[in-house]
Amino acid sequence: MSSLGLLSTRGVSLSFGGVLAADAIDFDLMEGERLAVVGQNGAGKTTFINICTGFIKPTSGQVFFNGADITALSPRAVTRLGVGRSFQLPQVFTEHTVRECLMLAASAVKQRRGFLLPLSQAVDANEVDETLELLQLAARAHDLAGSLPEGQRKLLDVAMALVLRPKLMIMDEPTSGVSTDEKHGLMAVLMRALDERQVTSIFVEHDIDIVRRYATRLCAWIAGRIAADGLPEAVLRDPIVIKNVIGE
């Protein structure tokens, strides 16, 4: 077996009901990369993420993280190993305040179960405040997560994952649902935070400008396979990619 990267897959396939959502994927992600994933809807991008984070089990093949086989692990276990995830529709605790959301996330790090231990005493307040600053959410710390506008909800979604100090952050369409003039600002904040924490990242994107600006590597997915993989500019000039992914 060739040497494994931070995240690697070998022969990962997923078929359901005759559809091949993933077709024998061999893939390696190195530490420090900022990988963008593009592809039409249904090409297999989210499926791949779900497989890598343990949400779905592949029909065949293996997934490795940091050299360990994580194919059969649950999302909970995969998270604990150091993979953070944010969602297309931000998943936050709508009836908790922003700060409380982060505190809950922070409490998961040390696995302190405390039946009577107040949450505020179980977590490192500095850690929480630092992350709030990093994601520019400090002003909204005491607002209910459910009251946040979409862009800040996305940031909170990422913040909660970031508090866990992951080595790899997987973001599913981080700028979708956000207005065009806010997109770049949002992405800039996200990327700066990830750089600060030295987190390797994968992000699924539809906006090609964002891809050009922030990615160090680009994978283009077509019908369950990685059709092109390499430097963003090179991939974006690939005729197959232009035809099947961008040219819409």
Partner 1 sequence: MRLRLLVVVLAVAVLALGLFFPWVKTPVLVALANGLAVSGVIVLIRAGQVSFGNAMFACLAGYGTAFMAREWQLDALLLIALSCVLAALAGAIIGFFIVRYRGIFFGMLNLALSMVLFSVLGKFGAVTGGTDGLRFDRPTLAFVHFEREGFETALLVLALVLSIGAGWVVQRYFASVSGQALAAIKTNETRLEYLGISAKRVFWGGYVLAATLCGLGGSLFALTQGLVTPEMGYWVRSGELVFVAILGGSGHALGAFIGAFVYEFMKLYAAALLTGAWQLVMGLVLIVMVFVAPKGVFGMIERHLRSRSKA
CB 8 within 8 A of CB 59: no
Q: What is the CA radius of gyration of the chain?
A: 18
Residue 133 CB neighbours (<10 A) = 12
The minimum distance between CB 93 and partner 1, in angstroms, equals 5
Our finding on whether 66 is near partner 1 (CB under 8 A) is no
- Give 162 or 211: the residue with its C-beta nearer to partner 1: 162
Instruction: Look at strands 225-230 and 217-222 and give their pairing.
Output: antiparallel
Phi, psi (degrees; rounded to nearest 5) at 154: -65, -40
Contact string 165-204 vs partner 1 (x = CB under 8 A): ----------------------------------------
Our finding on whether 116 is near partner 1 (CB under 8 A) is yes
Q: Is 220 left (phi over 0), alpha (psi -120 to 50) or beta?
A: beta
Query: Cα-Cα-Cα-Cα dihedral of 185, 187, 190, 193, to 10°?
Result: -70
CB 187 within 8 A of CB 210: yes
246 in helix, strand or coil? helix
Contact string 20-59 vs partner 1 (x = CB under 8 A): ---------------------------------x------
Our finding on whether 107 is near partner 1 (CB under 8 A) is yes
Our finding on whether 108 is near partner 1 (CB under 8 A) is yes
The minimum distance between CB 95 and partner 1, in angstroms, equals 5
- Give 166 or 232: the residue with its C-beta nearer to partner 1: 166
Best CA proximity match to 102, nearest among 42, 30, 146, 160: 160
Best CA proximity match to 187, nearest among 207, 168, 167: 207
Our finding on whether 141 is near partner 1 (CB under 8 A) is no
| Out of 19, 31, 112, 198, the residue judged to bind partner 1 by CB under 8 A | 112
**Options 24-32, 43-51, 77-85, 190-198: segment touching partner 1 (CB under 8 A):** 77-85
Our finding on whether 75 is near partner 1 (CB under 8 A) is yes
Record the tokens describing residue 153, joined without a space: 């909800």
Residues in contact with partner 1 by the rule CB under 8 A = 53, 74-77, 79-80, 85, 87, 91-96, 100, 103-105, 107-109, 111-120, 122, 146, 160-161, 164
